[in-house]
C-alpha cells in the first residue's frame, strides 16, 4: 500500500525513462539535471514481478532494481501527475506487445521453412492447355468473315472512303439502271424531276370582275 510509505519525504526524486534492448525493457531512474543514473530495473515480462502496481493508487508502483552484480532490491516509485503514470503503463504494454508480435512472426517463418515446399515446375512430359477466348477457330474452317452487300452481277461493293475519293484513283461503279416493268417504256420523264405546270393565260381575276359593287 502506498499509504504506508513516507510520501511527503521521498528518499530520492528525479526523472524516469524507459529504454529497450532486444526484448528487455529497462526502467531507468536518472538525475533530472545531470542525467546521472541512480538505479535501473530490467523488465523481461509485463505484468510480472519486476513491476507491480499498489492496491490503493494508480500513481504508485513497486519495481525491482538491480546493480548488475547480482544484487536486487524492491523500491516504491510514484508519479505526481496521473497522466505520467498512465504513460508509464502504456510504454511497457506497447513494448511487450511488439515483443509478442516479433515472436509470432518468427514462429510463422520457422513453420514455413520446415513445411513442405511447393514444386511449381513442369514434370517431364507434362503439358498445359490454354483456352483463349475469341481466338478459337472451328475445325475445318478458316474463321467467320463479315458479309458484304452484293452489287450488280454478284460483285461485292465496298463503301467509298471518307472524303468521297477512292484510294486507287478509280471512279466508283455507276448505279444500276432502274428495272423496266413489263409493258412500260423507260423514258426521260421517269428519271426527271416533275416540272411545275405553267399557269393558264386566262384573266387572273376570273368572275370577280363581273361582280356588282
* Every domain of the chain and the residues it spans: 2-114
Beta-carbon contacts of 51 under 8 Å, excluding residues fewer than 6 positions away, are 27, 41, 43, 61, 62, 63, 64, 92
Would you say 36 and 30 are in contact if contact means Cβ atoms under 8 Å apart? yes
Give pLDDT, residue 109. Answer: 82
User: Which grid cell is 27?
Assistant: 526502467
Q: What is the pLDDT along the chain (213 residues), one digit of tens a residue?
A: 888 888 888 889 999 999 999 889 999 999 988 989 999 999 998 888 999 999 999 999 999 999 888 899 999 999 989 999 999 999 999 999 999 998 888 888 877 777 666 667 777 777 877 777 766 555 555 555 565 555 555 555 566 666 655 445 556 555 555 555 555 555 544 555 555 555 555 555 555 555 555
Selected from 3.20.20.70, 2.30.29.30, 2.40.50.140, 3.40.50.2300, the CATH number assigned to the domain covering 2-114 reads 2.30.29.30
This prediction has a pTM of 0.50
Which residue carries 423514258 as its cell? 187
Would you say 161 and 167 are in contact if contact means Cβ atoms under 8 Å apart? yes
Burial of 51 (0-12, 13-18, 19+ CB in 10 A): buried
Give pLDDT, residue 73. Answer: 94
Give pLDDT, residue 205. Answer: 58
Amino acid at each position: 500500500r502506498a499509504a504506508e510509505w513516507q510520501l511527503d519525504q521521498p528518499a530520492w526524486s528525479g526523472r524516469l525513462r524507459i529504454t529497450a534492448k532486444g526484448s528487455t525493457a529497462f526502467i531507468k531512474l536518472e538525475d533530472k539535471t545531470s542525467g546521472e543514473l541512480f538505479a535501473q530495473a530490467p523488465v523481461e515480462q509485463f505484468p510480472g514481478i519486476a513491476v507491480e502496481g499498489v492496491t490503493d493508487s494508480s500513481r504508485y508502483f513497486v519495481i525491482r532494481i538491480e546493480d548488475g552484480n547480482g544484487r536486487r532490491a524492491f523500491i516504491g516509485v510514484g508519479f505526481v501527475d496521473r497522466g505520467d503514470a498512465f504513460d508509464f503503463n502504456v510504454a511497457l504494454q506497447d513494448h511487450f506487445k511488439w515483443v509478442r508480435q516479433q515472436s509470432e512472426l518468427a514462429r510463422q517463418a520457422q513453420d514455413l521453412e520446415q513445411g513442405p515446399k511447393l514444386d511449381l515446375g513442369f514434370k517431364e512430359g507434362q503439358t498445359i492447355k490454354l483456352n483463349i477466348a475469341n481466338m478459337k477457330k472451328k475445325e475445318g474452317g478458316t474463321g467467320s468473315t463479315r458479309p458484304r452487300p452484293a452489287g450488280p452481277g454478284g460483285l461485292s461493293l465496298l463503301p467509298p472512303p471518307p472524303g468521297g475519293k477512292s484510294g486507287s484513283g478509280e471512279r466508283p461503279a455507276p448505279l444500276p439502271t432502274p428495272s423496266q416493268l413489263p409493258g412500260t417504256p423507260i423514258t426521260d420523264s421517269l428519271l426527271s424531276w416533275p416540272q411545275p405546270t405553267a399557269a393558264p393565260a386566262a384573266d387572273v381575276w376570273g368572275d370577280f370582275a363581273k361582280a356588282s359593287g
